[in-house]
Amino acid sequence: MTMQLCGVSVSPYFERILTMLDLKGAMKQLEYPGVPGGFKSAEHLAHHPMGMVPYLIKDDGDSLTEGQIIMEYLDAVLDGPKMLPDSPDAAAQVKAICRIFDLYYYAAQRPIGSTFFGGEEDPDAIKKALEEDIPKALNYIEKYMGEASRAVGDSWSIADTVLISQFYWYDRVGAKFPLPTLADYPKLNSYWVRTKETDEAKRSFARIEKSFEEVFGSEG
């Protein structure tokens, strides 16, 4: 059985794994069935009891959940360049960027992200997100950003996959909401200006846009 990575690229947590596989040259080593049985189906919930994506069905039929866990597992078992540095200090820096996004940035932007995707607007929550929570999260990420060609050092890492998949949405949502300017975060801004023009990032953007249209339609 070939391992199956389940989810859709409109989810940055799924797309970050695809980006990692692309960077490793390992995309052909897995299958991508979407969400077998459909979202919240018995089949879905058997693999991910929270009814979320991504999840990975391994060769033995068992499954893994949570994007960070899946990325580290696939990085260890698949061929290609390693996406987690050997240096303990660099690995800690990579993991810090990933963790800050998952714990702080995601929560900070949730009121805006929900509204962007058609949820009920909460003006007070949006104001707090724009003026307090998102700036705090970005400042925290800035602390761990490197100043070389990639997020940490000069080689692609798991941190880059998180930044690419999340900041695509920062640019897109920023066209509708006055998100804090990245120019206030020099390392992040320099990184993003440089990285979004790479072929690897553009391939990720194309996958996200195709998935967005499939899920929400061209008018979404």
Cα dihedral sign, 94-97-101-103 = positive
Instruction: Look up the domain containing 110 and give its range.
Output: 88-216
Q: What pLDDT is attached to residue 218?
A: 65
Is the per-residue pLDDT at 220 higher than 90?
A: no
Distance CA 48, CA 169 (A): 25
Q: Are 39 and 51 in contact (CB under 8 A)?
A: yes
Q: Is residue 120 part of a domain?
A: yes
Number of domains in the chain: 2
Which of 77, 103, 137 terminates a domain? The answer is: 77
Q: What is the pLDDT of residue 219?
A: 53
Q: Decide if 162 is inside a domain.
A: yes
CATH number, position 67: 3.40.30.10
Asked if the structure places residue 180 within a domain, the reply is: yes
Average pLDDT over every residue of 193-206: 98
CA atoms of 138 and 167, how far apart (whole Å): 11
Q: What percent of the chain has pLDDT over 70?
A: 98
What is the pLDDT, as a whole number, of residue 204? 98
Tell me: pLDDT of 172 over 90.
yes
Contact in structure between 44 and 36 (CB atoms under 8 Å): yes
Collapsed DSSP state (helix, strand, coil) of residue 96? helix
In the prediction, which pLDDT does 96 show? Answer: 98
Mean pLDDT of 106-118: 93
More confident residue, 117 or 203: 203
Helices 134-144 + 106-116 axis angle, to 10: 130
Asked if pLDDT for residue 207 goes beyond 60, the answer is yes
The predicted structure's pLDDT at residue 97: 98
> What pLDDT does residue 69 have?
96
Helices of type H across the chain: 12-24, 42-47, 67-77, 88-100, 106-116, 123-128, 134-144, 158-174, 186-195, 199-216
Tell me if 19 is assigned to some domain.
Answer: yes
Q: How far apart are the C-alpha atoms of 47 and 33, rounded to whole Å?
A: 14
- In the prediction, which pLDDT does 217 show? 85
* CATH code: domain of residue 100: 1.20.1050.10
Residues 103 and 194 in one domain: yes
- The set of residues, in sequence order, having a beta carbon less than 8 Å from that of 186 and lying 6+ positions away, is 142
* Per-residue pLDDT tens digits for 9-65: 999 999 999 999 999 999 999 999 999 999 999 999 999 999 999 999 999 999 999
User: Model confidence at 118, in pLDDT bands (50, 70, 90)?
Assistant: confident
| CA 3 – CA 108 distance, rounded (Å) | 33
Dihedral angle computed from the Cα positions of residues 127, 128, 130 and 132, in that order, rounded to the nearest 10 degrees: 150
Query: What rounded mean pLDDT belongs to the chain?
Result: 96
pLDDT at 13: 96
Name 65's bridge partners: 55
pLDDT, tens digit, 9 for 90 and up, residues 67-111:
999 999 999 999 999 999 999 999 999 999 999 999 999 999 999
CB atoms within 10 A of CB 167: 20
